[in-house]
Amino acid sequence: MGTTSRRDFQTEARINIQPNIPPSYVAYELRYNDPITRQSYRQAWYWRWNGVRDGAFADSFANVPSFDTDKLIAYLRNLNVGWDD
């Protein structure tokens, strides 16, 4: 029987809740390696969040349409935060 290894992973999400936060985009990227196929994979999700108005947290997220996704990716690339295809 073969051996398997467990790799720890970490996620972090922070938001500074203020009385008013304008609607925003949320981009989430996951990169991982499959130990069986030895392939690397990347998945990305893009949402639009309605923000906070008068202290009320908007809990609705909407998927970003493809034409806005392209603009969002270009914006993230310009920030040099390590976002790439």
Q: For 34-45, what is the mean pLDDT?
A: 92
Predicted pLDDT of residue 28: 87
pLDDT in tens, 73-83: 888 888 877 77
pTM listed for this prediction = 0.60
Domain segments of the chain as ranges:
24-78
User: How many helical (H) and strand (E) elements, i.e. helices and strands, does the chain have?
Assistant: 1, 5
SS3 17: coil
Please determine, for residue 61, whether its predicted confidence score (pLDDT) is greater than 80.
Answer: yes
Predicted pLDDT of residue 68: 85
Strand order in the sheet with 40-49: 24-33, 40-49, 61-63
